[in-house]
Structure 1
Amino acid sequence: MANHSSSPSLLCASFNQDHSYFAVGTRDGVRIFDTNTGRLCYERAVGAFVIAEMLFSSSLLAIVGAGDQPSLSPRRLCLFNTTTGAALRELNFLTSILAVRMNRQRLIVILQDKAYVYEINSLTILDTIDTVPNIKGLCAFSPCLDACYLALPASTTKGSALLYNVMDCHLHCEIEAHRSPLAAMVLSSNGMYIATASEQGTIIRVHLVSDATKSYSFRRGTYPSTIFSLSFGPSKQLPDILAASSSSGSIHLFTLGFASHPRWSKRSSGFLGSIIPGAVNDVLDPAYHHVLHNAVSAGVKSHAIIRKVENVTNSSSSELLACRAIMSVITYNGYFQEYNLSIDAQNELSWSLVREFNLLTATMDKAS
């Protein structure tokens, strides 16, 4: 890892729903990059933005200003067309917008004490959800229309999450995941699983959304650390990888579902060979936890996602021989990193940094 400045250069960073593009907000404007090539695809330099959210690979961009100028109020959401350069619609609120999420049918707007659910094409408001004070705008959203859930904190004193079905507009369940308040959470892209971390930051838990049962529980470390981001790999079903970035500067990888493969389960034949949802000890075998130490400067906020997972199996026995993945990381001091990861049949991790570039100095004339 290069020795970069630890001072924050980005005000926001987000990947689109399939991780093919990502948007970053700076004090000068908003920039969109192609994740696969590193190419800067779009730039709008009109002022500071604290939210920039894409809708898949479309030209629709949801942006919220930082309030440095009257036209970029943090209480105004602008739906913007990056192709035509036109503002399509604006929504104004009484308090600052803390988060925005979208899929092809729903638009979610998170305020400190409310969440609004809109039909995205007509911007008809479908539901208003009163929430506990949520000053960080913490939420998780699954873009899948068949299992389209929104997760919000249920308490300010413990780590509980409320899950709403925003297609049918009803409360689905409450999950009591931690003793301390929530600090991070993410839903898998198919809406089947939710991963959570508390402000303590030592335990990460994964629950099955359908019946709110605990499926996995991982110990990230012994010492408290702020979890900046959680991200599931793109697999539609397990095995998969969960990535967690933290204030320690290390990125933690947890392999889910690999115990069902005979060769991998030899490492822990007793406990891991019999994983079923709802029958899990508090801490999973450490053999299924891998760490990229010092991937980011300590204290620098980062957002890590697993954007590709390939499971290599023996064609004759269906045994899992290796798991290969591509991990992308955005650091808030203004850098993009891409890693190749490989976990072999002995459950040993190897990784290499294959690409790194400065998000602020990249130009639109070539790939990075």
Structure 2
Amino acid sequence: MANQSSSYPILCASFNQDNSCFAIGTRDGFKIFDPNSGRLLYERAIGAFSIVEMLYRSSFLAIVGAGEQPSLSPRRLCLFNTETGTALKEVKELNFLTSILAVRVNKKRLIVILQEKAYIYDINSLVILDTIDTVPNLKGLCAFSPSLDGCFLALPASTVKGSVLVYNVMELNSHCEIDAHRSPLAAIVLSSNGMYIATASEQGTIIRVHLVSEATKSYSFRRGTYPSTISSLSFGPSLQLPDLLLATSSSGSVHVFYLGFAINQRSRRSISFLGSIIPDSVNDAFDPAHHHVLHNAVPAGVKSYVVIRKVDKVADTSSSDSLPCRASISIITYSGYFQEYILTINHKNESSWILEHEFNLLTVMA
């Protein structure tokens, strides 16, 4: 997630594909951390970077300069090896005509997002496989599922409404287009296995979840009544339906929607008269039962990047209505801090938040 503002000390932040480590870019260079211990794993002070993307826990990095030094152009993508401190193989870099706005990688593909194009490369040979012409995408908005079985890229399909183009980057064809919102998109995320996509519009009041294979709406959640800018969305890791969906907004609050509880609410409504005549999407959007909020997690207006790193089911046989869970939620603020919260949801759908640890990303020493 690259930062467009010059007011923050952190220019970008990203977790790797299994959330086992994360990277930040600053005006001095880039750093890689272990979120469990807070330990600084790698540091390179060679100038300002706007994009730093990892490939799991390998030595591979895709990095893009912020343009503050002549040698670190925002139009140049460098493939970097942390073990040798040099560019990979004979090909040191890929150069483009306009600024690189986002980069995504997995074990087979390298994705480069520009303002009006998306490039798909074979990550091993760096042969370009396809080019997608896109609508103007000034923020480089995109979502990517790293799974090779459901490897999708999601991009805005309109500048006037919240339509999403879902593209299969393994088969190199357009999978579907989803009309998710009336207003333009502000945030997109795909589940790690590519089964579900969540979206938020510039209004930021409703978050919708679609099943990618059928391009059908599964859930709608209301974040709030008043408009707010959604800065990040995150699904909890899962092999099937993710248990949790997280959203952060410009208000500084973290919103978590418990999809498992929504399923049970939906099944109970389906046997009632009211549930049989009111569509599930309408009920879900206004039903607060599955909505848990951590208010003032970060100061209002401070940009943040948040992920659900881990979700564990908690043994509890007192109720069969919903499965309680425990989630590790990591917050990176662009003002320079890392926070790890533990969210626990019990069998009554009651939640509690505990701050496990917090540290300053700019002062940690190796």
Same fold (TM over 0.5): yes
Q: Deviations over 1:187-222 (max 9, x none)?
A: 000000000000000000000000100001001001
How far has the Cα of 1:139 moved from its partner?
0.3
Q: 1:122 & 1:58 partners in 2: Cα distance?
A: 17
Equivalent residue, structure 2, for 1:242: 245
Cα contact 1:314–1:320 (8 A) shared by 2: no
TM-score (norm 1): 0.92
Equivalent residue, structure 1, for 2:22: 22
How far has the Cα of 1:37 moved from its partner?
1.2
Q: 1:314 & 1:220 partners in 2: Cα distance?
A: 28
> Which residue type is aligned with residue 269 of structure 1?
R
Aligned partner (choices 135, 140, 144) of residue 143 of structure 2: 140
Q: 2:118 & 2:75 partners in 1: Cα distance?
A: 14
Q: Deviations over 1:146-169 (max 9, x none)?
A: 000000000000000000000010
How far has the Cα of 1:355 moved from its partner?
0.5
TM-score (norm 2): 0.92
How far has the Cα of 1:249 moved from its partner?
0.3
Equivalent residue, structure 1, for 2:364: 362
Q: 1:200 & 1:272 partners in 2: Cα distance?
A: 33
Equivalent residue, structure 2, for 1:43: 43
349 and 95 in structure 1: CA distance in 2 versus 1, 3 angstrom threshold? same
Equivalent residue, structure 2, for 1:121: 124
Q: Deviations over 1:117-143 (max 9, x none)?
A: 000000000000000000100000000
Equivalent residue, structure 2, for 1:73: 73
Equivalent residue, structure 2, for 1:216: 219
Equivalent residue, structure 2, for 1:280: 281
Cα contact 1:158–1:179 (8 A) shared by 2: yes
Cα contact 2:163–2:184 (8 A) shared by 1: yes
Equivalent residue, structure 2, for 1:168: 171
Give the aligned length: 353
Q: 2:319 & 2:52 partners in 1: Cα distance?
A: 46
Equivalent residue, structure 2, for 1:3: none
Equivalent residue, structure 2, for 1:56: 56
Equivalent residue, structure 1, for 2:3: none
Q: Deviations over 1:69-116 (max 9, x none)?
A: 121000000000001101112000000000000000000000000000
Q: 1:257 & 1:318 partners in 2: Cα distance?
A: 12
> After the TM superposition, which residues 195-274 of structure 1 pair with which residues of structure 2 at under 5 Å, given as runs?
195-238=198-241, 240-260=243-263, 265=265, 269-270=268-269
Aligned partner (choices 106, 109, 113) of residue 112 of structure 2: 109
> Within the alignment, does 1:348 sit opposite 2:350 as a pair?
yes
Q: 1:51 & 1:158 partners in 2: Cα distance?
A: 27
The structure showing larger relative contact order (alpha-carbon pairs under 8 Å, at least 6 residues apart) is 1
Q: 1:198 & 1:239 partners in 2: Cα distance?
A: 21
Q: 1:345 & 1:272 partners in 2: Cα distance?
A: 22
> Which residue type is aligned with residue 109 of structure 2?
R
> Which residue type is aligned with residue 64 of structure 1?
V
Q: Deviations over 1:208-259 (max 9, x none)?
A: 0001000010010011110000000012123511111110000000011334
Q: Deviations over 1:343-364 (max 9, x none)?
A: 1111111011110000000011
Equivalent residue, structure 2, for 1:159: 162
- Helix, strand or coil: the match of 1:68? coil
Report sequence identity in percent.
Answer: 73
- Helix, strand or coil: the match of 1:19? coil
Tell me the C-alpha RMSD between the 2 structures: 2.1
Aligned partner (choices 324, 327, 335) of residue 325 of structure 1: 327
Q: 2:177 & 2:108 partners in 1: Cα distance?
A: 24
Q: 2:321 & 2:218 partners in 1: Cα distance?
A: 22
Greater Cα shift, 52-61 or 320-329? 320-329
Cα contact 1:259–1:272 (8 A) shared by 2: no
- Helix, strand or coil: the match of 2:355? strand
Cα contact 2:219–2:280 (8 A) shared by 1: no
Q: 2:9 & 2:245 partners in 1: Cα distance?
A: 26
* Structure 1: runs of 5 or more not aligned: 1-5
- Helix, strand or coil: the match of 1:270? helix
* Structure 2: runs of 5 or more not aligned: 1-5
Equivalent residue, structure 2, for 1:84: 84
How far has the Cα of 1:281 moved from its partner?
2.3
Q: Deviations over 1:276-303 (max 9, x none)?
A: xx95326152110111000000000001
